[in-house]
Amino acid sequence: MSHIFSRHCHATPPRAVGGEGCYLIDDSGKRYLDGSGGAAVSCLGHGDADVTAAIEAQLEQLAFAHTGFFTSEPAEKLADLLIEHAPGDLDRVYLVSGGSEATEAAIKLARQYWVEKGEPGRGRLIARKQSYHGNTIGALSAGGNEWRRQQFGPLLLDVSHIDPCYEYRYRRDDESAEEYGARAAQALEDELLRVGPDTVMAFMAEPVVGATAGALAPAPGYFKRIREICDKYGILLILDEVMCGMGRTGSLFACEQDGIAPDILCIAKGLGAGYQPIGAMLCTAEIYQTLADGSGFFQHGHTYLGHPAAAAAGHAVVSAILNRGLIARVKEQGDKLVTRLEDRFGQHPHVGDIRGRGLFRGIELVADRDTKAPFDPARKLGAALKKAAFNEGLICYPMSGTIDGKTGDHILLAPPFIIEDAQLDELVDKLDRAITATI
Protein backbone atom coordinates (compact mmCIF):
# COMPACT_ATOMS: atom_id res chain seq x y z
CA MET A 1 0.00 0.00 0.00
CA SER A 2 1.19 3.48 -0.84
CA HIS A 3 2.02 6.02 1.87
CA ILE A 4 0.07 8.72 0.04
CA PHE A 5 -2.11 10.86 2.37
CA SER A 6 -5.46 10.70 0.59
CA ARG A 7 -8.03 13.36 1.59
CA HIS A 8 -10.69 10.68 1.33
CA CYS A 9 -9.12 8.52 4.01
CA HIS A 10 -11.34 5.47 3.49
CA ALA A 11 -11.56 5.38 -0.26
CA THR A 12 -8.49 4.97 -2.40
CA PRO A 13 -9.27 6.59 -5.73
CA PRO A 14 -8.18 4.97 -9.00
CA ARG A 15 -4.72 5.85 -10.27
CA ALA A 16 -4.75 8.26 -13.20
CA VAL A 17 -2.07 7.38 -15.73
CA GLY A 18 -2.93 9.39 -18.82
CA GLY A 19 -4.90 12.22 -20.34
CA GLU A 20 -6.03 12.81 -23.92
CA GLY A 21 -8.10 15.84 -24.87
CA CYS A 22 -11.33 15.72 -22.83
CA TYR A 23 -10.54 12.31 -21.27
CA LEU A 24 -8.56 11.00 -18.32
CA ILE A 25 -7.43 7.37 -18.27
CA ASP A 26 -6.82 5.19 -15.22
CA ASP A 27 -4.44 2.27 -14.81
CA SER A 28 -7.10 -0.25 -15.82
CA GLY A 29 -7.49 1.57 -19.14
CA LYS A 30 -10.89 3.04 -18.22
CA ARG A 31 -11.58 6.42 -19.85
CA TYR A 32 -13.39 9.22 -18.02
CA LEU A 33 -14.94 12.20 -19.78
CA ASP A 34 -13.64 15.19 -17.81
CA GLY A 35 -16.97 16.98 -17.47
CA SER A 36 -15.73 19.31 -14.74
CA GLY A 37 -12.10 19.79 -15.80
CA GLY A 38 -11.24 18.38 -12.35
CA ALA A 39 -12.51 21.42 -10.48
CA ALA A 40 -12.75 23.84 -13.43
CA VAL A 41 -9.01 23.52 -14.05
CA SER A 42 -8.37 21.70 -17.34
CA CYS A 43 -9.70 24.33 -19.74
CA LEU A 44 -7.46 23.21 -22.61
CA GLY A 45 -8.02 19.51 -22.00
CA HIS A 46 -5.21 17.05 -21.44
CA GLY A 47 -2.03 16.66 -23.48
CA ASP A 48 -1.77 20.13 -25.03
CA ALA A 49 1.50 20.03 -26.98
CA ASP A 50 2.07 23.81 -27.07
CA VAL A 51 1.79 24.23 -23.31
CA THR A 52 4.03 21.21 -22.68
CA ALA A 53 6.62 22.55 -25.13
CA ALA A 54 6.60 25.97 -23.43
CA ILE A 55 7.23 24.35 -20.05
CA GLU A 56 9.99 22.12 -21.43
CA ALA A 57 11.73 25.04 -23.10
CA GLN A 58 11.58 27.08 -19.91
CA LEU A 59 12.87 24.21 -17.79
CA GLU A 60 15.81 23.79 -20.13
CA GLN A 61 16.60 27.48 -19.93
CA LEU A 62 15.87 28.21 -16.26
CA ALA A 63 13.81 26.19 -13.83
CA PHE A 64 13.89 28.47 -10.80
CA ALA A 65 15.19 31.80 -9.59
CA HIS A 66 13.96 33.09 -6.24
CA THR A 67 11.93 36.31 -6.50
CA GLY A 68 13.84 37.68 -3.52
CA PHE A 69 16.71 38.06 -5.99
CA PHE A 70 15.36 37.98 -9.55
CA THR A 71 12.46 38.43 -11.86
CA SER A 72 12.22 36.24 -14.97
CA GLU A 73 11.17 36.66 -18.58
CA PRO A 74 8.14 34.32 -18.47
CA ALA A 75 6.84 36.00 -15.29
CA GLU A 76 7.13 39.45 -16.89
CA LYS A 77 5.54 38.27 -20.14
CA LEU A 78 2.62 36.67 -18.32
CA ALA A 79 2.03 39.77 -16.19
CA ASP A 80 2.04 41.98 -19.29
CA LEU A 81 -0.34 39.71 -21.19
CA LEU A 82 -2.79 39.59 -18.29
CA ILE A 83 -2.76 43.36 -17.82
CA GLU A 84 -3.19 43.94 -21.56
CA HIS A 85 -6.54 42.11 -21.30
CA ALA A 86 -7.57 42.90 -17.73
CA PRO A 87 -10.59 45.13 -17.05
CA GLY A 88 -10.55 48.57 -15.42
CA ASP A 89 -7.45 49.96 -13.74
CA LEU A 90 -5.79 46.65 -12.89
CA ASP A 91 -2.11 47.24 -13.45
CA ARG A 92 0.09 44.87 -11.44
CA VAL A 93 0.27 41.09 -11.22
CA TYR A 94 1.51 39.08 -8.26
CA LEU A 95 2.15 35.48 -9.36
CA VAL A 96 1.55 32.71 -6.84
CA SER A 97 1.11 28.94 -6.93
CA GLY A 98 -2.67 28.52 -6.73
CA GLY A 99 -6.06 29.88 -5.79
CA SER A 100 -5.78 29.97 -2.02
CA GLU A 101 -2.43 31.73 -2.25
CA ALA A 102 -4.03 34.32 -4.53
CA THR A 103 -7.01 35.01 -2.25
CA GLU A 104 -4.86 34.96 0.89
CA ALA A 105 -2.54 37.49 -0.75
CA ALA A 106 -5.54 39.61 -1.74
CA ILE A 107 -6.82 39.80 1.83
CA LYS A 108 -3.37 40.67 3.15
CA LEU A 109 -2.81 43.25 0.43
CA ALA A 110 -6.14 44.92 1.25
CA ARG A 111 -5.17 45.04 4.90
CA GLN A 112 -1.66 46.35 4.31
CA TYR A 113 -3.01 48.97 1.89
CA TRP A 114 -5.20 50.50 4.60
CA VAL A 115 -2.47 50.31 7.22
CA GLU A 116 -0.10 52.13 4.87
CA LYS A 117 -2.78 54.70 4.09
CA GLY A 118 -2.98 55.48 7.79
CA GLU A 119 -6.34 53.80 8.41
CA PRO A 120 -5.41 50.79 10.56
CA GLY A 121 -8.96 50.64 11.93
CA ARG A 122 -10.06 49.04 8.68
CA GLY A 123 -9.62 45.39 9.58
CA ARG A 124 -12.95 43.82 8.72
CA LEU A 125 -13.75 41.92 5.56
CA ILE A 126 -17.28 41.48 4.28
CA ALA A 127 -17.93 38.40 2.15
CA ARG A 128 -20.92 36.20 1.34
CA LYS A 129 -22.50 33.19 2.97
CA GLN A 130 -22.44 30.95 -0.02
CA SER A 131 -18.88 31.24 -1.23
CA TYR A 132 -15.54 29.52 -1.25
CA HIS A 133 -12.28 31.42 -1.37
CA GLY A 134 -9.73 28.72 -0.53
CA ASN A 135 -8.47 26.57 2.28
CA THR A 136 -5.78 28.58 4.07
CA ILE A 137 -7.01 30.20 7.28
CA GLY A 138 -7.55 33.71 5.87
CA ALA A 139 -9.18 32.47 2.68
CA LEU A 140 -11.28 29.98 4.61
CA SER A 141 -12.42 32.76 6.93
CA ALA A 142 -13.61 34.75 3.94
CA GLY A 143 -15.56 31.80 2.57
CA GLY A 144 -19.02 31.20 3.92
CA ASN A 145 -19.35 27.45 3.55
CA GLU A 146 -20.03 25.90 6.94
CA TRP A 147 -19.02 22.38 5.92
CA ARG A 148 -15.51 23.57 5.08
CA ARG A 149 -15.19 25.92 8.08
CA GLN A 150 -16.67 23.89 10.91
CA GLN A 151 -13.48 22.31 12.37
CA PHE A 152 -11.43 25.51 12.45
CA GLY A 153 -13.61 27.85 14.51
CA PRO A 154 -11.35 29.70 16.93
CA LEU A 155 -8.65 30.32 14.33
CA LEU A 156 -10.84 31.95 11.74
CA LEU A 157 -10.77 35.72 11.18
CA ASP A 158 -13.81 37.77 12.03
CA VAL A 159 -15.59 38.22 8.71
CA SER A 160 -19.16 39.44 8.09
CA HIS A 161 -21.05 37.12 5.76
CA ILE A 162 -24.01 38.63 3.93
CA ASP A 163 -26.58 36.71 1.90
CA PRO A 164 -25.51 35.64 -1.57
CA CYS A 165 -27.19 36.79 -4.78
CA TYR A 166 -29.21 33.68 -5.46
CA GLU A 167 -32.28 34.24 -7.60
CA TYR A 168 -33.57 30.69 -7.58
CA ARG A 169 -33.82 30.65 -3.79
CA TYR A 170 -34.29 34.25 -2.74
CA ARG A 171 -36.03 36.24 -5.49
CA ARG A 172 -39.63 36.99 -4.58
CA ASP A 173 -42.39 36.41 -7.11
CA ASP A 174 -43.30 40.11 -7.08
CA GLU A 175 -39.75 41.20 -7.98
CA SER A 176 -38.02 41.44 -11.37
CA ALA A 177 -34.51 40.01 -11.65
CA GLU A 178 -33.13 43.58 -11.59
CA GLU A 179 -35.14 44.49 -8.48
CA TYR A 180 -33.90 41.37 -6.76
CA GLY A 181 -30.30 42.19 -7.79
CA ALA A 182 -30.63 45.65 -6.22
CA ARG A 183 -32.14 44.19 -3.03
CA ALA A 184 -29.41 41.53 -2.77
CA ALA A 185 -26.70 44.19 -3.18
CA GLN A 186 -28.37 46.34 -0.52
CA ALA A 187 -27.27 43.71 2.02
CA LEU A 188 -23.73 45.05 1.60
CA GLU A 189 -24.70 48.62 2.40
CA ASP A 190 -26.80 47.45 5.37
CA GLU A 191 -23.87 45.49 6.78
CA LEU A 192 -21.45 48.38 6.20
CA LEU A 193 -23.75 50.70 8.13
CA ARG A 194 -24.22 48.11 10.87
CA VAL A 195 -20.49 47.56 11.51
CA GLY A 196 -19.34 51.09 10.59
CA PRO A 197 -17.92 51.65 7.11
CA ASP A 198 -14.56 52.90 8.38
CA THR A 199 -13.91 49.54 10.08
CA VAL A 200 -14.14 47.69 6.76
CA MET A 201 -11.25 47.09 4.38
CA ALA A 202 -12.94 45.23 1.53
CA PHE A 203 -15.85 43.27 0.15
CA MET A 204 -14.94 39.95 -1.46
CA ALA A 205 -17.04 37.81 -3.81
CA GLU A 206 -16.93 35.33 -6.67
CA PRO A 207 -18.65 36.88 -9.71
CA VAL A 208 -20.08 33.47 -10.64
CA VAL A 209 -20.07 31.23 -7.58
CA GLY A 210 -18.48 27.85 -8.18
CA ALA A 211 -17.78 25.12 -5.67
CA THR A 212 -20.40 26.06 -3.09
CA ALA A 213 -23.28 26.93 -5.38
CA GLY A 214 -22.91 25.28 -8.78
CA ALA A 215 -22.21 28.08 -11.28
CA LEU A 216 -24.45 30.65 -9.66
CA ALA A 217 -24.41 33.80 -11.81
CA PRO A 218 -25.48 37.15 -10.31
CA ALA A 219 -28.79 38.85 -11.05
CA PRO A 220 -28.53 41.68 -13.61
CA GLY A 221 -27.18 44.87 -12.08
CA TYR A 222 -26.08 43.21 -8.84
CA PHE A 223 -22.37 43.84 -9.25
CA LYS A 224 -22.86 47.33 -10.67
CA ARG A 225 -24.67 48.21 -7.44
CA ILE A 226 -22.00 46.43 -5.37
CA ARG A 227 -19.31 48.51 -7.12
CA GLU A 228 -21.28 51.71 -6.40
CA ILE A 229 -21.61 50.82 -2.72
CA CYS A 230 -17.89 50.02 -2.43
CA ASP A 231 -17.07 53.38 -4.03
CA LYS A 232 -19.59 55.28 -1.90
CA TYR A 233 -17.97 54.02 1.31
CA GLY A 234 -14.42 53.85 -0.06
CA ILE A 235 -13.88 50.14 0.50
CA LEU A 236 -11.98 47.86 -1.84
CA LEU A 237 -13.71 45.32 -4.06
CA ILE A 238 -11.91 41.97 -4.29
CA LEU A 239 -13.22 39.59 -6.95
CA ASP A 240 -12.31 35.93 -6.72
CA GLU A 241 -12.24 34.53 -10.25
CA VAL A 242 -10.15 31.52 -9.29
CA MET A 243 -12.81 29.24 -10.72
CA CYS A 244 -14.87 31.42 -13.05
CA GLY A 245 -12.04 33.40 -14.66
CA MET A 246 -9.79 32.67 -17.64
CA GLY A 247 -12.51 32.38 -20.25
CA ARG A 248 -14.64 29.85 -18.41
CA THR A 249 -17.83 31.94 -18.53
CA GLY A 250 -17.35 33.28 -22.07
CA SER A 251 -15.15 36.32 -21.36
CA LEU A 252 -11.52 36.21 -20.24
CA PHE A 253 -12.54 37.72 -16.90
CA ALA A 254 -16.03 36.90 -15.65
CA CYS A 255 -16.67 40.41 -14.28
CA GLU A 256 -16.46 41.88 -17.79
CA GLN A 257 -19.99 40.58 -18.37
CA ASP A 258 -21.22 42.49 -15.32
CA GLY A 259 -19.66 45.71 -16.61
CA ILE A 260 -17.44 46.31 -13.61
CA ALA A 261 -13.81 45.99 -12.56
CA PRO A 262 -12.47 45.25 -9.09
CA ASP A 263 -9.57 46.80 -7.18
CA ILE A 264 -8.06 43.36 -6.62
CA LEU A 265 -8.74 40.26 -8.72
CA CYS A 266 -7.70 36.65 -8.10
CA ILE A 267 -7.26 33.95 -10.74
CA ALA A 268 -5.80 30.43 -10.74
CA LYS A 269 -7.16 27.07 -11.99
CA GLY A 270 -7.65 27.83 -15.72
CA LEU A 271 -4.54 30.02 -15.70
CA GLY A 272 -2.31 26.98 -15.53
CA ALA A 273 -4.99 24.68 -16.97
CA GLY A 274 -3.52 21.92 -14.81
CA TYR A 275 -0.14 21.97 -16.57
CA GLN A 276 1.54 23.81 -13.71
CA PRO A 277 0.37 25.03 -10.30
CA ILE A 278 -0.10 28.78 -10.71
CA GLY A 279 -2.38 31.57 -9.56
CA ALA A 280 -2.26 35.35 -9.69
CA MET A 281 -3.48 38.39 -7.85
CA LEU A 282 -3.98 41.54 -9.92
CA CYS A 283 -4.32 44.97 -8.33
CA THR A 284 -4.63 48.60 -9.37
CA ALA A 285 -1.74 51.00 -9.76
CA GLU A 286 -3.16 52.99 -6.83
CA ILE A 287 -2.87 50.06 -4.43
CA TYR A 288 0.58 49.14 -5.69
CA GLN A 289 1.77 52.75 -5.48
CA THR A 290 0.49 53.11 -1.91
CA LEU A 291 2.82 50.31 -0.85
CA ALA A 292 5.60 51.56 -3.09
CA ASP A 293 5.39 55.06 -1.57
CA GLY A 294 4.96 53.67 1.96
CA SER A 295 6.96 50.76 3.31
CA GLY A 296 8.11 49.80 -0.18
CA PHE A 297 7.45 46.16 0.54
CA PHE A 298 4.46 43.82 0.37
CA GLN A 299 4.77 41.93 3.62
CA HIS A 300 3.89 38.59 2.11
CA GLY A 301 5.79 35.99 0.14
CA HIS A 302 6.09 32.35 -0.81
CA THR A 303 9.13 30.49 -2.09
CA TYR A 304 7.53 29.66 -5.43
CA LEU A 305 6.23 33.14 -6.29
CA GLY A 306 6.57 33.82 -9.99
CA HIS A 307 7.97 30.35 -10.70
CA PRO A 308 9.45 30.53 -14.23
CA ALA A 309 8.14 27.17 -15.49
CA ALA A 310 4.69 27.87 -14.05
CA ALA A 311 4.71 31.36 -15.58
CA ALA A 312 5.73 29.90 -18.95
CA ALA A 313 2.79 27.50 -18.71
CA GLY A 314 0.43 30.34 -17.75
CA HIS A 315 1.61 32.43 -20.68
CA ALA A 316 1.15 29.52 -23.10
CA VAL A 317 -2.34 28.82 -21.70
CA VAL A 318 -3.57 32.43 -21.88
CA SER A 319 -2.08 32.74 -25.39
CA ALA A 320 -3.91 29.57 -26.43
CA ILE A 321 -7.21 30.85 -25.00
CA LEU A 322 -6.83 34.15 -26.84
CA ASN A 323 -5.25 32.99 -30.11
CA ARG A 324 -7.26 29.85 -30.77
CA GLY A 325 -10.63 31.57 -30.58
CA LEU A 326 -11.50 29.65 -27.44
CA ILE A 327 -13.58 32.38 -25.80
CA ALA A 328 -16.00 32.34 -28.74
CA ARG A 329 -15.96 28.56 -28.55
CA VAL A 330 -16.85 28.63 -24.84
CA LYS A 331 -19.93 30.70 -25.68
CA GLU A 332 -20.93 28.44 -28.55
CA GLN A 333 -20.38 25.13 -26.76
CA GLY A 334 -21.81 26.61 -23.55
CA ASP A 335 -25.05 27.46 -25.34
CA LYS A 336 -25.19 23.94 -26.76
CA LEU A 337 -24.53 22.43 -23.35
CA VAL A 338 -27.29 24.41 -21.65
CA THR A 339 -29.75 23.54 -24.43
CA ARG A 340 -28.95 19.86 -24.00
CA LEU A 341 -29.29 20.14 -20.22
CA GLU A 342 -32.65 21.89 -20.55
CA ASP A 343 -33.92 19.37 -23.10
CA ARG A 344 -32.93 16.46 -20.92
CA PHE A 345 -33.53 17.76 -17.40
CA GLY A 346 -35.80 20.79 -17.81
CA GLN A 347 -38.86 18.82 -16.69
CA HIS A 348 -37.04 16.37 -14.43
CA PRO A 349 -38.89 16.02 -11.10
CA HIS A 350 -35.65 16.51 -9.14
CA VAL A 351 -34.00 19.28 -11.14
CA GLY A 352 -34.95 22.67 -9.70
CA ASP A 353 -32.58 24.97 -11.58
CA ILE A 354 -30.16 24.85 -14.51
CA ARG A 355 -27.83 27.84 -14.47
CA GLY A 356 -24.46 29.39 -15.23
CA ARG A 357 -22.58 31.04 -18.05
CA GLY A 358 -20.43 29.73 -20.89
CA LEU A 359 -18.92 26.35 -20.08
CA PHE A 360 -19.55 26.87 -16.38
CA ARG A 361 -22.93 25.28 -15.68
CA GLY A 362 -24.75 24.03 -12.63
CA ILE A 363 -27.79 21.91 -11.89
CA GLU A 364 -29.56 22.24 -8.55
CA LEU A 365 -31.24 19.05 -7.39
CA VAL A 366 -34.34 19.21 -5.22
CA ALA A 367 -36.54 16.65 -3.49
CA ASP A 368 -39.61 18.58 -4.67
CA ARG A 369 -39.67 20.93 -7.67
CA ASP A 370 -42.73 22.88 -6.49
CA THR A 371 -41.61 23.63 -2.96
CA LYS A 372 -37.87 23.64 -3.89
CA ALA A 373 -37.33 21.50 -0.79
CA PRO A 374 -33.80 20.11 -0.80
CA PHE A 375 -32.93 16.48 -0.22
CA ASP A 376 -32.08 15.44 3.32
CA PRO A 377 -28.33 16.16 3.69
CA ALA A 378 -28.01 12.79 5.47
CA ARG A 379 -28.50 11.18 2.05
CA LYS A 380 -25.11 12.56 1.00
CA LEU A 381 -26.40 12.81 -2.53
CA GLY A 382 -23.29 14.61 -3.76
CA ALA A 383 -20.96 11.77 -2.83
CA ALA A 384 -23.35 9.16 -4.24
CA LEU A 385 -23.68 11.07 -7.51
CA LYS A 386 -19.95 11.50 -7.88
CA LYS A 387 -19.55 7.74 -7.49
CA ALA A 388 -22.34 6.89 -9.93
CA ALA A 389 -20.94 9.31 -12.51
CA PHE A 390 -17.49 7.82 -12.05
CA ASN A 391 -18.89 4.34 -12.68
CA GLU A 392 -20.33 5.70 -15.92
CA GLY A 393 -16.94 7.14 -16.86
CA LEU A 394 -17.84 10.77 -16.17
CA ILE A 395 -16.08 13.26 -13.94
CA CYS A 396 -18.47 15.89 -12.61
CA TYR A 397 -18.38 17.96 -9.44
CA PRO A 398 -21.42 17.36 -7.24
CA MET A 399 -21.68 19.11 -3.86
CA SER A 400 -24.07 18.82 -0.95
CA GLY A 401 -24.56 21.67 1.46
CA THR A 402 -27.23 23.42 3.43
CA ILE A 403 -27.26 27.20 3.88
CA ASP A 404 -29.98 28.73 6.03
CA GLY A 405 -31.80 25.42 5.69
CA LYS A 406 -32.49 26.21 2.05
CA THR A 407 -29.79 25.04 -0.29
CA GLY A 408 -29.47 21.43 -1.25
CA ASP A 409 -27.38 19.60 -3.78
CA HIS A 410 -25.90 20.76 -7.01
CA ILE A 411 -23.71 19.45 -9.79
CA LEU A 412 -21.04 21.66 -11.34
CA LEU A 413 -20.04 21.12 -14.96
CA ALA A 414 -16.92 22.78 -16.38
CA PRO A 415 -15.62 20.76 -19.32
CA PRO A 416 -12.55 21.66 -21.37
CA PHE A 417 -13.11 24.48 -23.89
CA ILE A 418 -12.23 22.04 -26.70
CA ILE A 419 -15.24 19.82 -25.99
CA GLU A 420 -16.93 18.57 -29.19
CA ASP A 421 -20.67 18.26 -29.80
CA ALA A 422 -20.59 14.45 -29.54
CA GLN A 423 -18.83 14.75 -26.19
CA LEU A 424 -21.53 17.14 -24.96
CA ASP A 425 -24.04 14.40 -25.84
CA GLU A 426 -21.92 11.84 -24.04
CA LEU A 427 -21.70 14.09 -20.97
CA VAL A 428 -25.47 14.58 -20.75
CA ASP A 429 -26.19 10.85 -21.37
CA LYS A 430 -23.77 9.75 -18.67
CA LEU A 431 -25.04 12.37 -16.23
CA ASP A 432 -28.61 11.27 -16.86
CA ARG A 433 -27.73 7.65 -16.10
CA ALA A 434 -25.82 8.69 -12.94
CA ILE A 435 -28.76 10.78 -11.68
CA THR A 436 -31.21 7.95 -12.41
CA ALA A 437 -28.99 5.46 -10.58
CA THR A 438 -28.68 7.75 -7.54
CA ILE A 439 -32.07 9.34 -6.88
* Nearer Cβ to ligand PMP (97/423): 97
| Entry field: residues in the chain | 439
Q: What is the dihedral of CA 106, 108, 109, 111, to 10 degrees?
A: 120
Q: Which helix (H) or strand (E) holds 102?
A: helix 99-116
Q: Which residue is nearest to ligand PMP (CB)?
A: 99
Is the CB of residue 233 less than 8 Å from the CB of residue 197?
yes
Residues near 255 by beta carbon (within 8 Å), at least 6 away in sequence: 87, 207, 223, 239, 241, 261, 262, 265
* Nearer Cβ to ligand PMP (111/133): 133
Smallest gap from residue 100 Cβ to ligand PMP (A): 3
Residues of this chain that interact with ligand PMP (CB under 6 A) are 39, 98-100, 103, 132-135, 206, 210-211, 240, 242-243, 268
Is the CB of residue 54 less than 8 Å from the CB of residue 315?
yes
Smallest gap from residue 350 Cβ to ligand PMP (A): 25
* Nearer Cβ to ligand PMP (44/414): 414
> What's the longest Cα–Cα distance across the chain?
63
Q: What is the DSSP letter of 411?
A: E
Strand blocks (E) in 272-322: 279-284
Smallest gap from residue 307 Cβ to ligand PMP (A): 14
* Nearer Cβ to ligand PMP (55/238): 238
Smallest gap from residue 306 Cβ to ligand PMP (A): 16
Smallest gap from residue 132 Cβ to ligand PMP (A): 5
* Nearer Cβ to ligand PMP (205/435): 205
Cα–Cα distance between 199 and 138 in angstroms, integer? 18
Beta strands 124-128 and 200-205: pairing type?
A: parallel
Smallest gap from residue 285 Cβ to ligand PMP (A): 24
- Other beta carbons less than 10 A from residue 193's beta carbon: 10
Is the CB of residue 85 less than 8 Å from the CB of residue 282?
no
Mapping DSSP to helix (H, G, I), strand (E, B) and coil, where does residue 360 land?
Answer: strand
Smallest gap from residue 211 Cβ to ligand PMP (A): 5
SS3 content of the chain, % helix, strand, coil (to 5): 45, 20, 40
* Nearer Cβ to ligand PMP (7/172): 7
Smallest gap from residue 361 Cβ to ligand PMP (A): 15
* Nearer Cβ to ligand PMP (243/264): 243
* Nearer Cβ to ligand PMP (235/243): 243
Q: Where are the alpha helices (DSSP H) in 346-396?
A: 381-392
Is the CB of residue 289 less than 8 Å from the CB of residue 105?
no
